[in-house]
Amino acid sequence: MKRRFLLFFLFIRILCSLSVTANEFIHTDSLDSVLRATNNPKDKVDAILKFLEKQENQYMEDTLAIELATRAYVVAQQTNYTWGKVNAMIKLGNCYFRVSDYKKAMEFAQKAKELAEDLNYNKELARSLSLIGTVFNELGDYDNSAQYFFKGLKLFEKLEDKEGISSSLGDIGMDFYNQQDYKKALEYFTNSLSIAKKINSLSLIKRQYNNIAVVYGDLQKYDTAIVFLRKALEISIKLGDKLGQGTNIMNIGYSQMNTGSYNDALVSFQQSLDLFTKLNNRIHMAECYVNFGFCYYTANSVDESIPYFKKALLEGQNQGYYRIIAPAAKMLNQIYTAKKDTLNAYKFVMLENLAGDSLFAFQKQKILSKLELQYVYEKKEFKRRLDQQAQNTIMYIIILSLLSGLVILGLILSKHRLRSKFVLLEKEKIESELNIKDRELTVNLISLIKKNEMLSDMSNKLIQLELSAKGNETKDALTKISQELRNSTDNKMLNEFTLRFQEVHAGFYEKLLKAYPDLTQNELKLCAFLRLNMSTKDISELTGQQLASIDHARYRLRKKLNISNSEINLVTFLSQV
């Protein structure tokens, strides 16, 4: 149980490491000087967006990032700078996602998607689709997230945008990981990593190293996970990403702890704690305390684990971070219960229950947020389609009004309309006549079936007489009459049907044979019966065949018509011949 809980705790950390921000101080002096020296509003928008995209600014404080992105968005909106507006909205969507405001993240992503679609900004459209997918993924709606990730991937592939392709493959891999399809997740993460290496995108390479480590950690292949985490750590150091370094080292320590290398794990946890302390990242500091506690506890140094669990609990309470409070309180309750310290055990079990209730409420709120986002998104999409239809209608009205103002063109259009109407009426007349003939043919078929039943009944009675007859000559005569009556009845009935069918549906057999020359006469007759929408039972009564034989014949016919593996209805297919 302890190991399984640690697994859960680690992977939350790695996955969140892509979105949690460090409290490093970002110098904006260079940006301020550029903005002061620039009079063109569009250049100011571009300068802000370029500043936000720099690698060294990816971990700035969220409030500052939102403030700068909002500034770019407002200026772009005021000056009608569409490219800047779309990219500012995408940046704002990502910023709000990082602070878990999924409603605003979805709102900006959707607006960016709509504007990018209208202006044919395919790259920005792909990025907005990926952002929408990321929000759905975070809320556990993997059907919707996969849909948008694949749409984004398709656009990036069309644009031959290697960076976008790599990022989308990683997103799709995360979808599979969240659904515990580790084989598929590794496949997509590996493909993403391969492309990231080709274009030398260090941030994408690091991201996939971390993702691959997550999968191997879930599979409890900790040595392999450490290999990829060390590779990610090298890139974090190269990029100067202190938050990434701390997270990588902390997770290396976790894997070391699970392989029984407790001393190495404690060294790693201390290194990561030092980095997080310099960054003043209280949440990650609390996670380090929890890991220290678990490491000492699993190494049977229970008393040394208590101070760390208490530090983690205190930080969790100060930050309102129930994912820290719950495991820390649980372990303290477990320790004091074992020590028979009932008072302390009770105190910590109450904290554990409180944190568990809060986590449950959070999950419930997450589900509600998911449903709300789905409702709002679908409602906006529906309204957008209606608006688009209304715009198209207005456009058609304007065009028709302009055309109607030209007399000559109006006369030509009138003539064309009359001709089209005449053709339509002729077509309807032909279809009506064909329907009448079909009905007549069906009535005749029913009559033939009844007649066939009557003659069959007579034949059966002759057979009964044959059985009761005494003389051999009489028996032979009755047998001969019965067989001739049955054979002549079947042949006459089927020949009459074939003749009448060809009169109504002229060319049906010819078209079938031209497209499928291997069809036999019996299969052609079966096609004719199906063309009249006859059921298997009706065909059985008409031909005297068993139901199973007709079903088998239908199966062979589908194979010959090359529709054996499709969802195409056989009757519908033949009605279009």
Residue-wise pLDDT for 119-148, tens only, equals 999 999 999 999 999 988 888 888 889 999
- Average of pLDDT values for 399-420? 72
Residue 323 scores a pLDDT above 90:
no
Q: Which of 19-23, 29-33, 428-432 has the highest mean pLDDT?
A: 29-33
Q: Alpha-carbon distance 219 to 212, whole Å? A: 11
Residue-wise pLDDT for 541-554, tens only, equals 777 788 888 888 98
Q: Please state, in angstroms and as integers, the Cα–Cα distance from residue 168 to each residue in 87, 175, 192, 370, following that order.
A: 18, 11, 8, 22
> Can you give the pLDDT at residue 300?
92
Give the class (CATH, top level) of 508-577.
mainly alpha
> Can you give the pLDDT at residue 159?
93
Least confident among 98-107, 152-161, 497-506: 497-506
> Can you give the pLDDT at residue 341?
87
Give the residue among 248, 206, 275, 201 at the shortest CA–CA distance from 53.
Answer: 201
- Average of pLDDT values for 379-408? 72
Residue 368 scores a pLDDT above 60:
no
Per-residue pLDDT band at 441 (split at 50, 70, 90):
low
> Can you give the pLDDT at residue 428?
67
Per-residue pLDDT band at 85 (split at 50, 70, 90):
very high
Residue 574 scores a pLDDT above 50:
yes
What is the radius of gyration, based on Cα positions, of the chain? 38
Describe the crossing of helices 62-78 and 82-98 by its angle, rounded to 10 degrees.
Answer: 160
- Average of pLDDT values for 245-249? 93
Q: Is 261 helix (H, G, I), strand (E, B) or coil?
A: coil
Q: Alpha-carbon distance 355 to 320, whole Å? A: 9
> Can you give the pLDDT at residue 8?
36
Any idea which residue has 């005494």 for tokens?
Answer: 470
According to CATH, the topology of domain 25-58+60-160 is 1.25.40
Residue-wise pLDDT for 456-470, tens only, equals 667 667 667 666 666
> Can you give the pLDDT at residue 113?
94
Supply the pTM of this predicted model: 0.58
Q: Which residue has the higher pLDDT, 349 or 332?
A: 332
Amino acid identity at 143: D
CA angle 64-67-72, nearest 5°? 130
Q: Alpha-carbon distance 18 to 24, whole Å? A: 16
- Average of pLDDT values for 480-506? 67
> Can you give the pLDDT at residue 358?
61
> Can you give the pLDDT at residue 510?
87
Q: What is the mean pLDDT of the chain?
A: 81
Q: Alpha-carbon distance 473 to 466, whole Å? A: 10
Q: Which residue has the higher pLDDT, 220 or 399?
A: 220
358, HSE (Cβ side, Cα atoms, 13 Å)? 15
Per-residue pLDDT band at 427 (split at 50, 70, 90):
low
> Can you give the pLDDT at residue 371?
61
Q: Please state, in angstroms and as integers, the Cα–Cα distance from residue 75 to each residue in 70, 94, 171, following that order.
A: 9, 19, 31
Residue 210 scores a pLDDT above 50:
yes
> Can you give the pLDDT at residue 6?
40
3-state secondary structure 122-134: HHHHHHHHHHHHH
Percentage with pLDDT > 70 across the chain:
74
- Average of pLDDT values for 529-538? 84
Give the residue among 204, 202, 89, 215 at the shortest CA–CA distance from 156.
Answer: 204
Residue-wise pLDDT for 162-195, tens only, equals 999 999 999 999 999 989 999 999 999 999 999 9
Please report, to the nearest 10 degrees, the dihedral formed by the alpha carbons of residues 166, 172, 173, 176 taken in order.
-170
- Average of pLDDT values for 476-485? 66
Q: Alpha-carbon distance 279 to 358, whole Å? A: 28
Q: Please state, in angstroms and as integers, the Cα–Cα distance from residue 415 to each residue in 406, 505, 518, following that order.
A: 14, 33, 47
How many CB atoms are closer than 10 A to CB 302?
Answer: 16
Per-residue pLDDT band at 315 (split at 50, 70, 90):
confident
Domain positions in the chain: 25-58+60-160, 431-506, 508-577
Instruction: Dump the DSSP string for 403-436.
Output: HHT-HHHHHHHHHHHHHHHHHHHHHHHHHHHHHH
Please tell me if the domain spanning 25-58+60-160 has the same topology as the one spanning 508-577. no
Percentage with pLDDT > 90 across the chain:
36
